[in-house]
Amino acid sequence: MTEALRAGHLRGIMMHAPMMTATVDFYVDSWGLSLATRGDGVAYMAGTGPEPFLYGLKDSDSFGIEYVHFGMPDRAAMDAFYHQSVERGATVLGAPSLFDDPIGGYGFEILDPDFRRLRFTTELRMKPSEDTFALPRKISHVVLNTPDMEATQDWYCKVLGFRVSDYSADQMVFLRCSSDHHSIALVRAPYASVNHVAFEMPDLDSFMRGIGRMKQKGQVPSWGPGRHGPGNNPFAYFVSPSGFVIEFTSELQQIDETTHEAKVWSRTDPDSMDRWMTAGPPTPAQRAVMMGRPDPGFPGLKQA
């Protein structure tokens, strides 16, 4: 099999939960996002980067991912990527076309092995970037729990062109589609769910100031601050009002494709989890909240 075309870059994610849009004020006043646009039962939150939205809030009866959002450079790349997805056996939800929601764009959607919906778009109406201190500028990465880590990793690599950056023992794999160390990471788990979503701050001072802002609003990190081994990124995890784990991060390792070799990091060496030794390993409560609620994925297509 020839080398796969690669998904362009991670744009963001749309989440759903009961009363999700009622949490807009939290994301604006505490987390540091802005409200890009709002519709019936949905709100699109933007960062300081050029993406029209990076975190979506949708009202639903269940908790989980509505879709993970990726970008492609142009229509030619999108069409080629679509044909590759079909040829490699992906469950495709339609041919490339114009989306009719407030974000729009040209693209298509597919389902991953855990029936998560993945959206690929191009030709979005980008916005001017802002050089603003201590506010999130983009989604750094999305971490997914999966009951079959090896098969899911294989699918992301063979169908979507992701590459392995590192492993955390045999329990976690970090996958990249750009120079960022990971845009998607997979965690071995009993069921499919979202583990956490990480928001990138412009620099380390912004990262710390974001933690301070949350603290002033009465919420301390559930884990952190610390600095991970894989990816070398600072971390501070919080629990959102809907119960999802969200993270401030910055300084994620940039991969040189000509020299990088994937490494297997230990999970028993404290330095792997937290190189600063300020946060230590996650507590049982933190691991439980990162396990999330079971997410059956896109309705109507899952086999019995």
3-state secondary structure of 227: strand
Residue 300: per-residue pLDDT:
56
Among 7-21, 75-89, 159-173, 264-278, name the one with the lowest average pLDDT. Answer: 264-278
Band of the pLDDT at 270, cuts 50, 70, 90?
confident
Q: What would the mean pLDDT of 243-250 be, rounded to a whole number?
A: 98
pTM over 0.85: yes
* Percentage of residues of the chain with pLDDT beyond 70: 98
Position 15 pLDDT exceeds 80: yes
Residue 285: per-residue pLDDT:
96
Residue 46: per-residue pLDDT:
98
Q: Check: CB of residue 225 under 8 Å from CB of residue 211.
A: yes
Query: In 10 A of CB 138, how many CB atoms?
Result: 21
Q: Check: CB of residue 75 under 8 Å from CB of residue 96.
A: yes
Query: In 10 A of CB 127, how many CB atoms?
Result: 16
Position 43 pLDDT exceeds 50: yes
Quote helix, strand, coil % in the chain, to nearest 5: 20, 35, 45
Q: What would the mean pLDDT of 275-302 be, rounded to a whole number?
A: 89
Question: Which candidate, 12, 9, 41, 10, places its Cα nearest to that of 24?
Answer: 41
Cα gap 186→184, rounded to integer Å: 7
Q: What would the mean pLDDT of 239-265 be, rounded to a whole number?
A: 97
Position 304 pLDDT exceeds 90: no
pLDDT tens by residue, 113-142: 999 999 999 999 999 999 999 999 999 999
Q: Which residues are CB-neighbours of 222 under 8 A, at least 6 positions away?
A: 237, 238, 239, 245, 285, 286, 289
Q: Check: CB of residue 137 under 8 Å from CB of residue 200.
A: yes
pLDDT tens by residue, 172-183: 999 999 999 999
Tracing tokens 């583990």 back to the chain, one arrives at 195
Position 303 pLDDT exceeds 50: no
Strand ranges, E, within the chain: 9-17, 34-39, 42-46, 55-59, 64-71, 91-92, 97-98, 106-111, 117-122, 138-146, 163-168, 172-176, 184-188, 193-200, 223-227, 234-239, 245-249, 263-265
pLDDT tens by residue, 223-238: 999 999 999 999 999 9
Query: Quick one: angle between helices 149-160 and 75-87, nearest 10?
Result: 130
HEC sequence for 139-191? EEEEEEEECCHHHHHHHHHHHHCCEEEEEECCCEEEEECCCECCCEEEEECCC
Cα gap 208→235, rounded to integer Å: 10
Average pLDDT, the chain: 95
How big is the CA angle at 69 (ends 68 and 70), to the nearest 5 degrees?
125
User: Residue 238 carries which side chain, given as an amino acid letter?
Assistant: F
Residue 257: per-residue pLDDT:
95
Tracing tokens 């190189």 back to the chain, one arrives at 275
